[in-house]
Homo-oligomer: A and B are copies of this chain.
Amino acid sequence: MTNTRDQILETTCDLLENQGFHATGLNEIVRESGAPKGSIYYYFPEGKEEIISESVAYAGQRVAERIQAHLAGTEDPAQAVQSFVETIAHHVEASGFRAGGPLTIVASESATTSERINQSCQEAYTQLRNAFAEKLTRAGIESENAASLAWMITSAIEGGIILSRTYHTGDPLRQVAASLFCLIKNCESARSAGTK
């Protein structure tokens, strides 16, 4: 039975990623997920706001795990982040510019309109930022500096996804990837310079 719930959440994530929550209706979620209509009310008795909020949490968890797994594969944090952002560029291209940034639209839409969804978006972005910050601190970057860089990394990726979808090319994200590499490298050398 857990599968039906996850199936509903995954479908909702895809719809949110593509078109945001204003444009996403319960009927569309039912139709696209293939779940029996009754199961929506069984798993999410509080309706649309609950489904969206849980989907955002689900997306945050899934993306944070993807970030951790990818970053773990490369020792150098600047190279690891650059290569991760390049995979997003590829993902956005492969989706025909329909996907990328499961939180982007819903976060903007709900910022001041739904406290519950806004709270989920905050928690999801915090998971993403923490995944980046942990990699940076594990590589020896001082924790305040790492936290600050993690805000920038998350912001630049979110904006890079918007530009890549808008221009129908992964190149804006590749520019972001190269700039983040430079930024993290310079931060590292500033740190080394400071401690030597």
Contacts and interface: CB of A to CB of B under 8 A. Distances in A.
Interface of A: 18-20, 22-23, 96-98, 101, 104-105, 107-109, 111-113, 118, 121-122, 125, 148-149, 151-152, 154-160, 162-163, 165-168, 171-172, 175-176, 178-179, 182-183, 186-187
Q: Majority SS of interface residues in chain A?
A: helix
A50 to B, nearest CB: 19
Nearest to A176: B155
Contacts of A101: 108
A107 B179 contact: no
Contact of A22 (B19, B104, B154, B179): B19
A159 B154 contact: yes
B105 A108 contact: yes
Contacts of A178: 148
Contact of A167 (B96, B109, B122): B122
Contacts of A152: 156, 175-176, 179
A162 B166 contact: no
B22 A165 contact: no
B166 A122 contact: yes
Contacts of A163: 125, 151, 154-155, 158
Contacts of A151: 160, 163, 171-172, 175-176, 179
B156 A108 contact: no
Nearest to A148: B175
Nearest to A98: B112
A122 B162 CA distance: 11
Interface centre among A109, A125, A159, A182 (most CB of B within 10 A): A159
Contact of A165 (B19, B23, B107): B107
Contacts of A167: 122, 125
Contact of A20 (B108, B159, B175): B108
